[in-house]
Structure 1
Amino acid sequence: MKNRRAYLRRLLFGWALTLTAFTLTAKAQPAEAQEKPSQQEIAIHYSLYYEEYKNGNYEAALPNLRWILKNAPGFGRNDDRNFERAVEVYEKLAEAAESEALRRAYLDSALIMLDTAVPTIQGVDGNIDPYAWLIKKGNFILQHRNDLPDLVDSVAVIYRQAWELKPKETPLYYIEYIIRDYISKGDKAAAVAFMEEVEQHRADDPEVMNRLTEFRGALFTSPEERITFLEQQLEKKPDDLALISELFDLYRQAGYRDKMYEMGEKLQQMQPTARIYRMLGKMYLEDGNTEEAIRLYEQSLQLEGGRDHAREVYYNIGIAHQQEGRFSRARTAFRQALEADPNYGMALIAIGDLYVQAVQNCGTFEREDRAVYWLATDYYERARARDPQVANIATQRINSIARFYPSAEDKFFKNWNPGDSYKVDYGCYTWINETTTVR
């Protein structure tokens, strides 16, 4: 009873921090009874919070940030960045909290942001990826597992929800985590059923299929017991390469990322291989440490056998640059992937995606902006023609942007005739410097 009262007090405090009056739906009162703030008022609150946030004054940023989340959650670029910043603000405040109760309250407030971002932004027709936010929530809980021990068991369920949204795109790490969770709870039937589901969606992914085979072979053993045993052995033989290698793989399977990094560093020192560098690079990329990921991927190319995987390595380097907004460098990396394999459809799709994202970032959406979609389509069509494995993805991409092509009126106004060459090298597209065809 005492623990329940403490939990309720903490929960109430967490809600107070996120502003009791903060309402994420329009059910509180009729729409006509709500007084909508002006654009000027919204811009003022946004500017006030962002200035404090940018300078690391997180507590000072909170009042205006809360106001924005309540009154104009998608303000700026009509996306989820205000919620992302809210999560970061509460996380930073938790790190600086002087008591365990206050730290937990701030973390609970961050969790509320993680739960409400998707319905709120969707409610204002903003741009948000529900899959990405589920992954964020699961990672957040694991990152703060010591302060959120009661929520750790929910992580696998969260990752499973993300999997169901994007089974083709979910990284292997999260698939492994779900399987490990079933096994650790003794639910072998559920583990087998999920692995069968994974196989239906990812039968063409050798890495995933190899891991499923390993899981099936070890399904009736306890990885935790194996890890404990190996750790005890490693204390006696700290330089045993075989023990370190097996622990590295077991940590990877169990989702112990910090320990995996530790073992990975030892392997780099004792027996550096291109595979280890690639695996660590992938982890750093998934965790958002793009600079370290790029460094590791580039080093993998210098090791024996490293260039055998050049197309995947350069592709992932391109993804890392793209995440940092370095579009030109990202394209260079994707082109290097194509040099390694001219029929690598995902690299062609990635360049098309870069150009689509460039249009979204420029933001004016004038005739010249929409003409860039012709060039993106060129790459999607090449991907579809060269690589049957990505044909469906390429077709989906084409269908999604076709409606944004310049209209007949646009082409008449600009004197653009179908079949004419058209070069994209102006304004914020100067870096592209490529020629397409008027459609």
Structure 2
Amino acid sequence: MKYLITLLGILFVSSPITHAQADTCQKEPPSGLSPLAAYSIFYENYRSGDYEFALDYGRWLICAKPEKLEGNPRFSLLTQYDRMVTIYQEIGNSKEDPTLKAAYIDTAETLLNESLELFGDEPKSRFDIIFTRGRFYQQNYNTIDNGLQKAYSDYETLFEIDPKRAVSMGDGYYLRQALNNIIDQDRTEDAQNFIDNVKPHAEGDALEFIEEKQQEILGSPEEQIAYYTPLLEEDPNNLDALRALEGAYESLDDRDKLKEIKLKLNDLDPSYDSALDLAELARSNANYNEAVRFYQQALDRATDDSQRKEMYLSLADMNINLGKLSIAKEQVQKALQIDPNDGTSLIKMATIYGAAVSQCTEDRTLEAADKVVYWVVIDYLNKAKQVDSSVANSVNQQLSTYQDVTPNSEDKFFTLNLENGDTITVDGSLNNCYSFINETTTVR
């Protein structure tokens, strides 16, 4: 049962200090006091927690509704409404009689609703009052009919007024309460509209929660595609729809559709990540020329040296696969300019020189001159291990393979006319296909 008690013309709960309200509310301060004196008594008793005594003076303030108070330039009628809500709530919660408790709580609710009517025209004030009312409903849900649902409804309204502010409140608590309630009511369309409204303002845990709920709402990738495809047809620039479809097609491993979506995202919202996604997709499809194009885009959009180094190494990989070893070497050299002691880059250079031997001897037998290149490969592997201990295991696994194919004694002394300790340059003098290497090594 609802114990509706308004402040105008309806009986207030009696106590030794509070008394029945007359048919018309008291628009003059009690006991013939001046407005400032009556307010001072109200405020001091409110501040000290003597809510029963403050109540009589507070009812006058709510009835008279003074917009200003001479002698107190900081006076705010909205603040007095907030205080009176607290007074009625605290007195009500102190009552053992459930009827009295409900009456006081009901009056506090009435004050909140009246406050919203009086001061809710401006968005910030409306937001603040509805937030206060939502918390009031949640705190007193045992006394208020359908209290929890009223609270969740108010929290939902906050996201309509100011989604950015609402998302950040309570470390996402109100976001979770509002969205969970919508989903629990099977209001799927409302839930999706809610997500579309708040997602641009979310990050971190809040964004992760929203994405989990998005999956819960839409279910399977097929259902997601069915939902978002018409939205994209209506608005081809809908980034949220594109990102949702990207995830759905990735789940289904539909590479053609996935590439189509990624291309649109890269055009509409170009970034390092969007270009890198396309490069990795092309790489996984062994489309190395296309991968080069998108790795270069990612490189152009890189924001720090770490990203740039990674893109140079990825470009080197693609050019190795394409047989463009001199270009691959240039990319690794640029990576080493950023970090001369990066073991991965040094290993990559060794890989390029090893690939040069394979490329040069593709249609012929390995000769003594070809084997000289492996000394340079070993030089780079040893340097990688020396300057970067994190790659030691990888280097050790490769070293024996290359050491087994370096020039033997016969190659050195009879074919190449070399002595241990001699210096030799690996370039076009060994074979034209090694001209791009141009590295010096020591006979051993």
TM-score by length of 1: 0.47
TM-score by length of 2: 0.46
